Amino acid sequence: MLIPTYVKALSVAVYLLMTINLANVMVVQKDLVLSGLNDGVVIDYRGKDQIYVLTSDLSDAFISDVINTSGGGVFSGRIYMRLSKQAFNLSDAYFMVVLYSPSPYVINVSRVSSEKVLTDILNSPGNVSLQLTFRLINNLTGSYVTPTIQIPMYLRAPIWNVAIVLVVLTMFISTAVLDVRSYSQLKKDRWGVEESVALLVRYLLYGSLTAFIVSVVATVGLTIYNNIVFKNFSFDISWLLIPFIILFLSAVVYYACKWKGWYDVIDEE
């Protein structure tokens, strides 16, 4: 009963990884603090094939445009957006840019704030929609303070990581419930609540171990892939904190049940 569940869990994990690797959207999010006129963003792109660009609309306090500088067999252009009016009551907003090309291309992103320029270079593969989202923070009054407390990385775990844990544990727990029913009928004279809990904990341990292994493989694989393809992209190993905590707690409870002898009836011949 354990082996079929294990195989199913791995099959689901492989399907999730294939879906991730075949995804054709890359999302990049940046903050831009607006402290004065002409603060904004400049995006230069360059590639060997046609590059398609879409930009979101902003209020009349901003000026934005897309300039095509292609020539000589090279497709290039510039996207710029800057603050043109001192709108002190300006609400925080978002500026979104989407780029697409059949071939790989390079993007140079410059964020201008308080006459300081922050530059990022992105390398996008072909047939991938690159979505750049800039959160525009109003600091025209000088009251904005950069947050000093960062959200813990484990609270920002990617959705695929959480999905792997949930799917795998659900499958193992479902099988455990069926086994509890079977054992309670076969060994009803000696079967009690302790044995039911112990069996559920054992399957939880198996499931959390499987989920942790799959998460490690996925995290390492995607880290290598993104660092090779996108150059400046990286994944933090702390993303594995959630599956590790579940595995650790499951192991502690499992050995506590084993120490109390709750597996004697389950493991007897």
The CATH number covering residue 64 comes to: 2.60.40
What is the per-residue pLDDT across 203-231, written as a single tens digit (0 to 9) for each?
999 999 999 999 888 878 777 776 666 55
Put simply, whether the predicted model's pTM sits higher than 0.85 gets the answer no
Same domain, 124 and 200: no
List the 25-34 sheet strands across, edge first: 25-34, 129-138, 93-100, 52-55
Residue 256 structural domain: 154-267
Domain boundary at 125, 149, 173, which?
Answer: 149
What is the per-residue pLDDT across 96-121, written as a single tens digit (0 to 9) for each?
999 988 888 999 999 988 778 888 88
Beta-ladder partners of 29: 133
Q: How many domains does the chain have?
A: 2
| 12-16, 68-72, 87-91, 226-230: range with lowest mean pLDDT | 12-16
DSSP-assigned letters across all residues of 65-101: EEEE--BTTBEEEEEEEEE-S--TTPPPEEEEEEEE-
Same domain, 57 and 78: yes
